[in-house]
Amino acid sequence: MSDPRIPRIVYLLLLILGLLQWLHMYPELPARMASHFAADGTPNGYAPKEMFFVLMSFALLSSAFLTFIVPIIIASKSAARINLPNRSYWLSPERSSETFRFLTAYMSWFGCAVLFVLLYGTSQAMNANLPDGHFNSAAMLRVMIGFVTLVAASTIYLIRRFSRIPESVPQ
């Protein structure tokens, strides 16, 4: 899990596939798109097509920020400014490199999850704007529940991982 190259490759593949879908579907979409949907999938907000894609591009940039920039910012902070259980152990000179490598991979996987949710929601919105298309709110809800579950489980994992100091190490 601590190799950040793998989630970054996954992120770039997801991004490329999502952008290819955008390019493929863009000409088929109406000039005024349904961009927000009620719980039952009926549209209740609209935007010009260009604005829809500009806003979604900014949303995608937020996931890129999580994946590529936040780990650099965290690594550039002094150990005293990083809130981590057992900070003195995990950020000691002999362990800090592996700790930051783990955190970089963790944030990269998190960025992949955010990107997936954004691309899935965008795909649902684009499909809803096609003739005879609809927004599948039940499927979107399942994706959101999966994302929230992933966030909760990975947060617990992160806290537990850094709350434990290996027993073979004197404290």
Other beta carbons within 10 Å of 133:
15
- Has residue 169 been placed in a domain? no
37, two tokens: 């949907």
pLDDT (average), residues 94-108 = 93
95, two tokens: 């362990």
149, two tokens: 């579950």
- Has residue 98 been placed in a domain? yes
Q: What percent of the chain has pLDDT over 70?
A: 98
Give residue 156's domain range: 5-163
For the stretch 44-87, pLDDT in tens is: 999 999 999 999 999 999 889 988 999 999 989 888 899 999 99
- Has residue 85 been placed in a domain? yes
The predicted structure's pLDDT at residue 3: 84
The predicted structure's pLDDT at residue 170: 57
Domain count, the chain: 1
pLDDT at 159 over 60: yes
Contact 4, 71 (CB under 8 A): yes
- Has residue 123 been placed in a domain? yes
Model pTM score: 0.90
Question: CB-based contacts of 10: which residues, under 8 Å, 6+ apart?
Answer: 112
Segments in the chain forming alpha helices (H): 5-25, 49-64, 70-76, 87-90, 96-128, 137-163
- Has residue 124 been placed in a domain? yes
- Has residue 93 been placed in a domain? yes
For the stretch 129-151, pLDDT in tens is: 999 999 999 999 999 999 999 99
